[in-house]
Structure 1
């Protein structure tokens, strides 16, 4: 039975980069956001999501994610309803994926909202990726071509790293790629040998 290791970090922390480093070392990675996007394209899910909105949130056969994001950003009740549709489907999908990867000593479940959605409770261990706020803001502005204020407001709406650190088993400060690679290898060895 593979251990479930949660991997999380706020926007711009570089958790996807760190996830790819684990993957390069042969560790299976489940990227919850990407899988959720695929799941949200399934017909049954599209219909269920459309049913909770008064206005049309579809473009043809698929959901208009941008429009949905804008609506739920202002409406927490709709966000809860949306999560109640998508999260159980992602959970089921993860269970099937994990079953196929149970031959490994551990698998990584990457999620931006691991703590916010209590997903850490279903993990054996948690790795938190952090970076100084200034670095995070610059990364996101460059990557997404968005304004400073836009990124700052996203960061302000996310759980603070200072609240996540005590809940994490490992903390990776993602500034220097070579140091992070070494840390990833150390964490892999630590998890395998401890368990």
Structure 2
């Protein structure tokens, strides 16, 4: 089975590409969604976060996101420790999930594919690319965030050029290039490997 890692910056359209792959019968593991579930359900993550931050990091409803955010905001060391707790569990869960798939290709969508090290556990990586201005306009239309906040979020992510260099494939989601032919070409190339 071929494992494909899908990444891209905020507003690039990686979720749209993931959905189009799913419509093409490619199972896609959405790392962001799964990590939120695991943070609340994994006894390993729970134990380690409580050890790091105390019992108040969880409430009856699950992870106390505001409290966690207050710890990791502007504290790179805490962020690094939290990632070191969550990322291995997400990777383990993805690997288990992948073994249960019946297709020749499966994928993981992760905004932080390279930053998290998930790229080490896939066979190929795909970056969804869109120019910054297109990304900003998409996020403005989608989120309740100011232009400045969006630019700040983009600047906190790995630069697109770096992701492009690290990726095996690039799909251009720039409102100029059609997505479906690019996805068909990608799947055709992967199937021939």
TM above 0.5? yes
Q: 1:64 to 1:104 in 2, by over 3 A?
A: same
Answer yes or no: is the 8 Å Cα contact 1:46–1:62 preserved in 2: no
The gaps in structure 1 that reach 5 residues or longer are: none
Report the counterpart of residue 81 of structure 1 in structure 2: 81
Corresponding residue SS for 1:126: strand
Report the counterpart of residue 169 of structure 2 in structure 1: 170
Report the counterpart of residue 114 of structure 1 in structure 2: 113
Report the counterpart of residue 24 of structure 1 in structure 2: 23
CA deviation map 1:21-64 (0-9, x unaligned): 00000001011111101101116233431331258333324112
Answer yes or no: is the 8 Å Cα contact 2:7–2:109 preserved in 1: yes
Q: 1:184 to 1:43 in 2, by over 3 A?
A: closer
Q: How many residues align?
A: 192
CA-based RMSD = 1.8
- TM-score of the pair, normalised by structure 1: 0.91
| In 2, Cα distance between equivalents of 1:177 and 1:184 | 15
Q: 1:70 to 1:131 in 2, by over 3 A?
A: farther
Report the counterpart of residue 64 of structure 2 in structure 1: 64
| In 2, Cα distance between equivalents of 1:64 and 1:177 | 42
Matches of residues 89-128 of structure 1 in structure 2 within 5 Å? 89-101=89-101, 103-128=102-127
Answer yes or no: is the 8 Å Cα contact 2:3–2:122 preserved in 1: yes
Matches of residues 34-49 of structure 1 in structure 2 within 5 Å? 34-42=33-41, 44=43, 45-49=45-49
| In 1, Cα distance between equivalents of 2:69 and 2:183 | 33
The gaps in structure 2 that reach 5 residues or longer are: none
| In 1, Cα distance between equivalents of 2:2 and 2:176 | 26
Answer yes or no: is the 8 Å Cα contact 1:127–1:168 preserved in 2: yes
Shift of 1:85: 1.5
CA deviation map 1:144-174 (0-9, x unaligned): 1111111111111111111111111111111
